[in-house]
Amino acid sequence: MSYLIKEIFYSLQGEGFHVGRPAVFCRFSGCNLWSGKKSERSKAVCKFCDTDFVGCNGEGGGRYATPRRLADRLQRFWPPGKKKTSKPFVIFTGGEPLLQVDDALVALLHEREWEVAVETNGTLVPPEGIDWLCVSPKAGAPLVLRAGQEMKLVFPQKGAEPERYADLDFNYFFLQPLAGRQVKKNTALALNYVLEHPQWRLSLQIQKILKIK
C-alpha cells in the first residue's frame, strides 16, 4: 500500500513516558474520529484535537508508494553517524496512524534497527512488532486496544474518566491536561487527580512550553 504523510520532522518527544527523547516524527494524514475540517469539528467524536493532519503539504510530506521509500525518507531525518550510540527512534502519529501503518513498514524499519512507536486513539488493531504503543482514548469511541506500554489520557473528558481505564494492561498511565482556554484549570484538576491516584502520572506538553515543533 502507499502511505499518505502530512509531515516528517526531527524533534524531542514532548509528552508522556519518552518526554525529552529525540525522535523522528512521522505524521500520517487522516483520522477516523474527525475529518480535520473545522466546519465538522462539532459533529466529530474527537472535538479537541489541536493538530493539522489534513493533506500532505508539510515538511517531508507526500505520498510514499512503498515501505522502502518511506523508510528511506525517515532515515534522512535521523542525525548521521549516531546509530552506535543511540538507536534510531520513530514515532508514528496523526491523525490516526493505524489507518495506514502495516506489517511491511514495521518489519522493514526493524531490519534497519529502528525502534518504532505509535500514538493511537486505540480504536484499531496494530500490526505485530510495534515497540512502544501509546494509547489515548477518546470519549464516545470504542476502545479496541486495552493493553500496551503507555496509556495517555487527555483530561478531563466526560465519558472518558480515568477510572474507566485504571484496570487495563498498560505499563504506565498518564493524564494530560486538555489544552485550550481552560488549560490552567485542567492542569490543576489533573495534578490533584494524580496526587490522589498515584497510579497515574502527569504529562505536560513540553513542546509547547519550549515552543518547539
Q: Give the residue among 181, 192, 187 at the shortest CA–CA distance from 205.
A: 187
> 58: burial class by Cβ within 10 Å (0-12, 13-18, 19+)?
middle
Give the dihedral sign, CA 16/17/20/24.
negative
pLDDT bracket for residue 50 (50, 70, 90): confident
- pLDDT above 80: residue 83: no
Span 38-48, pLDDT tens digits:
999 999 999 99
The crossing angle, in degrees rounded to 10, of helices 103-111 and 67-77 is 50
Span 150-203, pLDDT tens digits:
999 999 999 999 999 999 999 999 999 999 999 999 999 999 999 999 999 999
Query: In sequence order, which residues have a C-beta less than 8 Å from that of residue 124 and are 6 or more positions away?
Result: 32, 96, 98, 99, 144, 145
Structurally, how many domains does the chain consist of?
A: 1
- Domain with residue 168: its CATH number is 3.20.20.70
Whole-number pLDDT of residue 34: 96
Upstream peptide bond of 156 is cis (omega within 30 degrees of 0): yes
> 212: burial class by Cβ within 10 Å (0-12, 13-18, 19+)?
exposed
| d(C-alpha 161, C-alpha 89), whole Å | 31
Provide the residue count of the chain. Answer: 213
Domain range for residue 61? 3-210
Name the 3-class secondary structure at 106: helix
**Mean pLDDT, residues 120-126 taken together:** 98
pTM summary value: 0.96
Type of residue at 134: C
Whole-number pLDDT of residue 86: 82
